[in-house]
Structure 1
């Protein structure tokens, strides 16, 4: 997904992910939505990101209220809590992994954002490729594709 970084809160560093990489709150604008997320930059020169287009991977801390819908109304809308969004999109792929048994990754696209959710994120929903789904994401993070 492509974003324009509008503002960075330089003094609010938080280390996230398996590697404990530094992230910063950013106000961003994407083609179909805008808001706040934690941004994990490739470069230590944070000023270079302001008002620049950046390719990012999308991740989140938690998924809630996952359900299968009937009508596709692609959306990503801000929720009241910072870094939280309501999403409606389409399941584009279900990857079955060999270990641990039953582990799956569900890929969901809404506009130009692709979300990768684990089977644990969706609960006991029975889904298949092409299904329309809705869910809330909490703790949105955007990772510079250069990482």
Structure 2
């Protein structure tokens, strides 16, 4: 049995993160000690690590909730898991396209101030101040 601080250390996250996942229903509520301390088992650690790996892949809480539901019901067909991940891949591609566009905009903005000037003459600040 682990207390919340020990679980946080093993999962390399903050105690507040654990409490948040509990409040979201992603992490099952642990048993309590006589002193009312949360007592976590290995199953909590494994679930928390799973959640953290999903978050590292930029999955939303709802996507994680769905994946955890599948994990909790191993007899289900995994086709829906594939569909969920395919949908996430599309979202990642959209985000990558948006980030490439942002990079182009920033590079263009940077080109507006390619020499030493005063702040008053700064092409970047003046461009950002312009109304569209």
* TM-score interval, normalised by the smaller of the two chains: under 0.3
The answer to which structure, 1 or 2, has the higher relative contact order (CA under 8 A, 6+ apart) is 1
The structure whose residues are more often strand, as a share, is: 1
The structure whose residues are more often helix, as a share, is: 2
TM superposition score normalised by structure 1: 0.20
TM superposition score normalised by structure 2: 0.22
- Higher Rg of the two aligned structures: 2
